Amino acid sequence: MRRATSGNEGEAAVLSALIRRDFEVVVPFGDGHPYDLGIRLEGTTMLRVQCKTAWPLRGCLVFNCLATDHGRGARSYAGLADLFGVYFPADRSVYLVPIDGVASSEGRLRLEPARNNQKRRIRLAADFEIDRWTPEELRKVADTAAVTSKSLVGVA
């Protein structure tokens, strides 16, 4: 699969999975946004979703967490998006991962337990499967994102 179509496939898979679960999804017009989709929650709240395609590596799903802003170099999505919508083509699974829930450069979700039985600081893929997300859980992400956004712009 060519790289350009990989991104489109991932975005389409995340969009489809959200719609199948009755989330209200918005698609921003044009390419100038640091996110690919929005999930509208009750009221005026919207979560910004950046879609990524994951690949397997040593028992994990791995995905890129950096944005490339055409000439300005790689940068974090912190403050620009609230969730990663992660698509894993091998089994067509979709995960929602809060931006602040993974490292700033590379996201990893464990498909199987660590060989050394480590439990701390491990993110199991099963905990982020799209079926586990409810409007209430998404509201918690929105509340956390609102606090983070305020601190990024210096508003107390």
CA atoms within 13 A on the CB side of 117: 0
**Which residues, in sequence order, are CB contacts of 36 under 8 Å at separation 6+?**
11, 14, 27, 28, 49, 50, 51, 85
Q: Residue 112 has what pLDDT?
A: 83
Residue 2 predicted with pLDDT over 80: no
In sequence order, the β-bridge partners of residue 66 are: 76
Q: Residue 34 has what pLDDT?
A: 85
pLDDT tens digits for 11-42? Answer: 999 999 999 999 999 999 987 788 999 999 98
Q: Residue 156 has what pLDDT?
A: 40
- One-letter amino acid identity for 128? F
- Domain 3-146: which CATH class? alpha beta
Q: Residue 101 has what pLDDT?
A: 85
* Collapsed DSSP state (helix, strand, coil) of residue 12: helix
Whole-prediction pTM value?
Answer: 0.86
Q: Residue 117 has what pLDDT?
A: 74
pLDDT tens digits for 40-90? Answer: 998 889 999 999 999 999 899 999 998 876 667 788 888 899 999 999 999
pLDDT tens digits for 86-116? Answer: 999 999 999 999 998 888 889 999 998 777 7
Separation between Cα atoms, residue 88 and residue 146, nearest integer Å: 28
